[in-house]
Amino acid sequence: MADEQTTQTAAPASIEVRLSSDKLRLLVSVPDPHGNLNLAASRVAMELPPLELADPPDTEAIAALLGEACAPGENLVEYPLVEGQAPVPPRDGELQWQDDYFAEGFAVDEETGQMDYWQRAENRSVCEGDLLAVLLLPRDGEPGVNLQGNEVPVEKPGSDRLRAGKGVRTEEDEDQIRFYAGIAGRITLKDGTVSVDNVYSLKGDVSISTGNIHHAGSVVINGDVREGARIEADGDVLIKGLVEPATIVCGGNLVVGGGIVGDEEHHLEVAGTVQARYLNEVTLRCGGDVTITSQIDHSRVSTLGKVVAPRGRVAGGRLELYLGGQIGQAGAAGSSGTEIVLGHHWQHEAQRAERHERLVKLQEAREKVADAIARAVQQGALDDERRGTVMALKEKLGQIDGALQRELEANREADDAIASGARRELAVMTTTYPGVTFRIGSTATTSNRQYDMPRLIALRRDKVRILPLGDLNQPD
């Protein structure tokens, strides 16, 4: 079918009239119809009967249409003079996912262009309320009518399907169905059903074959966590095996059936409690208690709770405890460099640094305003304009002073709250070896001999003491 054109510089050899292949358009070619509209219209009308139009236009209507189609001196070539009723095409149903939840392959580092074989391209972790997918519903088309009065049929629309499984809710209107995550968790698609599971359970190990884990709920790993892995979960993490050097960021509690081995490149961040058989060269920060069965060796552990290891030992590294605790053994034979800090709130250090930065900025602002006032006063008598400027600066200075006072008071209150909540005592149930340093605030003492009886580490008369643990010396 030739494309329709309105006007051309080159005049057609003669008047031509035909139907388009779909019989929806009457195409005419007429050299400058304005030369004689009535004659051109009559000649076009003479060509219509063989075309069997259902409602052919008369000569007068054709003349009007030709006159509107072009300007004087222009030619018509394949111009659609009359059109039938075109069909309205159907809209196929279409499933539109809102993220690459099920993408295949691996993530690529944008800077280096290298593929990270630990990081899958898929993004299965979703939050409650996330829009997961939109299913556009199929819409029927409408048949048309060609110029011969015959119906122009339309095809039936295609459709996609999706069902909502557990953890997914839907909203529907006449055009679409929207699928939302009803809970935070991991999205799955099976047999046309989309679901969100709060608990992500892995049968085997977390390794390069599974990739890293990012999950908005809780995670259960029935095997080990291999070296180099990364696990991020908003909920609890249960690992039934052991953990090789890996990074774990946990919004709940971390429970490890075996032990945890770390290195300088990996760390653990746990909002809740930690339970494991042992920690070896681990860097850990957590918000709750640390319960260890066997030992904490050459690790850096900071907790806002207490350490609970009545049969375990702490040897090498640094242990920072906000609420004290109980361990079986402090240090080890031939071991050195063991430091245990009591009453230490590791988050408070960062918070104090932030508050100090705010105070510095306020003090700098105060100095600038005070200097501006001093310069204005040194210039001698003040006119009305400068007097108004000085008054505004003094008002600003008062506001800064008020902010400084409030910030200092907030700092004191925070320091007092942290100090009053701390428990600066540790019970050592069996042996305390030489070379273990116990620190409380700015005061510290180092064990210079071996104690084979239960001991209480506490602050007495402003000094850190290693006391016999008995009726008179019990941890709070």
Query: Span 385-398, mean pLDDT?
Result: 85
φ and ψ at 297, to 5 degrees?
-115, 130
Residues 100 and 192 in one domain: yes
Collapsing DSSP to helix, strand or coil, 158 comes out as coil
Claim to verify: residue 158 and residue 193 sit in the same structural domain: yes
Do 41 and 133 belong to one domain? no
Greatest mean pLDDT among 2-16, 228-242, 342-356, 368-382: 228-242
For residue 334, tell me if it sits in a domain.
no
**Are residues 48 and 124 part of one domain?**
no
Q: How many domains does the chain divide into?
A: 3
Residue 163 domain-assigned? yes
Residue 440 located in a structural domain: no
343 domain residue, yes or no = no
* Domain contains 221: no
Assess whether 65 and 100 both reside in one domain: no
Looking at the domain assignment, is residue 223 inside a domain?
no
310-354: per-residue pLDDT in tens? 999 999 999 999 999 999 999 998 777 899 999 999 888 788 888
pLDDT confidence of residue 417: 87
The confidence score (pLDDT) of residue 333 equals 86
Residues 70, 129, single domain; the answer is: no
Residues written for the chain: 476
Query: Across-strand partners of 268?
Result: 248, 284
Considering the domain architecture, whether residues 18 and 38 belong to the same structural domain is answered as yes
**Residues 27, 112: one domain?**
no
Domain end, chosen from 387, 414, 441, is at: 414
Reported as a single tens digit per residue, the pLDDT across 31-59 is 999 989 999 999 999 999 999 999 999 99
Closest CA to 299 of 287, 311, 284, 317: 317
Domain boundary among 83, 114, 134: 83
Q: For 144-157, what is the mean pLDDT?
A: 94
d(Cα 59, Cα 117) in Å, to the nearest integer? 76
Together in a domain, 75 and 105: no
Q: Which two three-digit tokens encode residue 240?
A: 């039934």
Q: Which of 148, 52, 136 is nearest to 94 (CA)?
A: 136
| Residues 45 and 104 both lie in one domain | no
| Domain boundaries, position 392 | 352-414
Is residue 34 a part of any domain in this protein?
yes
pLDDT (tens digit per residue) in 186-208: 899 999 999 999 999 999 999 99
| Residues 72, 113 within the same domain | no
Over residues 52-102, the pLDDT tens digits come to 999 999 999 999 999 999 999 999 999 999 999 999 999 999 999 999 998
| CA-wise closest residue to 306 among 294, 331, 288 | 288
Answer whether residue 222 is part of any domain: no
Residue 117 has pLDDT above 90, yes or no: no
Residues 98 and 41 in one domain: no
| Over residues 396-420, mean pLDDT | 89
Domain boundary among 32, 60, 83: 83
